Structure 1
C-alpha cells in the first residue's frame, strides 16, 4: 500500500518509509535517469489521452470544452486511482512488492538526470563551436525553429528549457509526492502530459484542451514560485558568480509578463542570477512569436551559461526538497 495516505499527508503525516522511498527514487534517477527498460506509466497515460482525443475532440466549441474537461477528469482521476489500487494490491500480497512498485512509480515521475543530460548535450558541441550539432541537440528539446540560431540564441533556448523544466520535471513531482506519494505524483504527471498534448492555443485544442491547460497552471502554481526562491537560496552555496543583488525583486516584477503563469518564475530567476536576458523572439514553423524579456542583458549568452543553469537546477531542487520535508516535520511529524 502507498506509504502516504492523502488526508494524513495533508496534515504532515509523511512516513519514514515514504520519505526513504522518495530519496531512493531521487538517487535512482540521478544514477540511471529515465527507466527506459521498464514500462513507463506516462507512456500509458499518453496513449489514453490520444485515444480519447481522437474520439471526443469534435463538434462545436462548447461541446469540446465539456468533453475536454471530462477527459481531463478521467485521465487525472484514473491515474491516481490506478496508482493507488496497484500499490494497495501489491502491498496486500507482500509489503516489499508495494514498496518496489512505489519506488518505480516515483522514479518514473522524476527527470533530474534527463534534464541535466539534455542541457549538456547542447552545451558540449556549442563549446566546441559546432553550431550544427548544437542546433540539432537543441531541436530535440524545444519546439522552436533552430536551423539558423547563433551561439547566443542556442544557449538561450537551452537555458530556458532547463529553467522551465526544473518545475515540470523535478520540483512539482516532488511537491505532490511529498503530499500524496506516488499516486498523487502520477496524477500530476497525467496533468502535465495532458497539457503537453492538448493544452495548446491552436484551433484544434483551444476549446478541447482548455481544462487541461488551466489544471496544469494550477498544479504548477506553488512549485513554480517556491522553485524560484529555492534557486535563489541555492546560489549562496553553489560555485559561480551570481548576480543575487535585486534578483528576487526583479523576478517578482518580470515573471508575470511570461505567457505562462508559472514558467516565468524559474526562468526569470535564472536569468537574473546569470546576468543575462532570456525571452525575446522565437520562430515556430516560420511563424514569429514574441516573448517578454526576462533578466538584464549584462552580456551575451554562451555555452557556459547552460552548465550554470544545470547547477542552479540541481541546487534548486535540493533547496526545494529540504524545507518541504522540514515543513512536514513542523506540521505533524514524520512517523515510523
Structure 2
C-alpha cells in the first residue's frame, strides 16, 4: 500500500523531478564520448546544412543571409527530430516517454564534465606535470597553451569553468522551464552552432553571425541568473560574497562577450583573483580587459574553489527549477 502511495505521488509530480534526475544521471554517467551522443548528432546536422548553404564565392551579404537560413533549418530539423522521438516514446508508454524527457535534459547539462576537467588539471599541477596540464587545458580552451605557467593554466581553467556554468548548466535548465526538454535541446543546438560557426574569421565572419548573435541573446538572462547564483554560492561557501557582487557589478561588462563576464567577474571577486589579460590564439597575442583585483596569486587551489562554486550554482539552479515547476503545478 505504501509503495502504491509513493508511485501515485511520483506519477502526479514526475515532471518536477526531471531536473533532479537529469543531474543524477550526469553525476553517474558524465558526458559519454560516443558518436551517438545527441550533441554529436546535432553537430552532424549543423555540418550538413553548412555544406548545403555555405559558398566561399558568395559576397558578405549572401553569406549573412544564407547563414541565417542555415540556423533556421538546423533548429527546425532538431525540433522535428526531438518531437518525433518523444512521440514514438509516448506510443510505447508514459514511463518510456518520461525517461526520454529526463535523458534529453541530461544530455544538455555538463557539471560532471566541467568538474572532472578541472580536477584533472588540478591533479596534474599538484604532481608537477606542467606539460600534461598544459595539454589537458588545451582540450577545454581555444587559446595557445604551450608556454603557460601554473598561474595562467589556473586562469584559463577558472575562466572556462565559470563561463561554461552558463551554457552547460543554467541556460539548459532555464529553457527547460520555458519549453520543456525540447527547449533544452533547442538551446543546446543554438549553443553548438555558436561553437562551430561563431568565429570571427574569413569563413564565419558573416556566415556565422546569426548563430553567434542568437547564442548571445539566448544566454543574456541565464548569464545574469548565474551572476546571482555565484554571489549566493559565495555566501554559502564562505567565500567573499560582497566582493563577488562588487566585482561583478564593476567588471562584468568588460568581457568581450555580452554574457561571459557575468559568470567570470563574480568568481574573480569571490576568490580574490584577477581574470582576463593577455592570451595567444594561433600565435597571435591579444589582450582582454581585466576582471577582479589580484589580491591572491592564482594557483591550483583556485580551480578547486571554482569547481565548488560551479556545483553550488548547479544545486541552486536545480532547486529553483524544481520549486518553479512545483509552484506552477500546485
TM-score (norm 2): 0.92
C-alpha change, 1:55 and 1:77, in structure 2 (3 Å) is closer
Q: Kindly report which structure 2 residues correspond to 1:11-50, keeping only aligned pairs within 5 A, or say none.
A: 16-36=13-33, 39-50=36-47
Alpha carbons 1:275, 1:299 under 8 Å: kept? yes
Structure 1 unaligned blocks of 5 or more: 1-14
Deviation digits for residues 264-294 of structure 1 (CA, Å, limit 9, x no counterpart) = 1110010110000001000011001211111
Equivalent residue, structure 2, for 1:3:
none
Name the residue aligned to 1:235: 234
- State how far apart, in whole Å, the 1-side matches of 2:116 and 2:192 are: 21
Tell me the equivalent position of 2:75. Answer: 76
Conserved? CA contact 1:80–1:184, under 8 Å: no
Q: 1:324 to 1:20 in 2, by over 3 A?
A: closer
- Distance in 2 (CA, whole Å) between partners of 1:256 and 1:329 is 34
- One of 295, 298, 303 as aligned partner of 1:301: 298
- Structure with more contact order per residue of length (Cα contacts < 8 Å, sep ≥ 6): 1
Q: Which residue of 2 aligns with 1:94?
A: 93
The residue aligned with 1:334 is: 329
CA distance in 2, matches of 1:291, 1:50: 31
Distance 1:148 1:35, change over 3 A: closer
Higher share in helix: 2
Measured in 2, the distance between the counterparts of 1:77 and 1:249 equals: 41
CA shift at 1:323, angstroms? 2.9
Contact kept, 8 Å, 1:127 with 1:303, in 2: the verdict is yes
Name the count of aligned residue pairs: 317
Provide, for residues 183-227 of structure 1, a one-character-per-residue CA deviation record: whole Å limited to 9, x for no partner: 110000100000000011111101001110010001111111101
Alignment partner, residue 216 of structure 1: 215
User: 1:100 Cα deviation (Å)?
Assistant: 2.0
* d(CA) in 2 for partners of 1:107, 1:36: 14
Unaligned runs of 5+ in 2: 1-11
Q: Matches of 2:24 and 2:79 in 1, distance apart?
A: 24
* Deviation for aligned residue 1:326: 3.1
Alpha-carbon distance between aligned partners in 2 of 1:38 and 1:107, rounded to the nearest angstrom: 17
Match of 1:276 in 2: 273
Aligned Cα RMSD in Å?
1.6
Matches within 5 A, 1:309-328: 309-328=306-325
Equivalents in 1 of 2:44, 2:210: separation in Å? Answer: 19
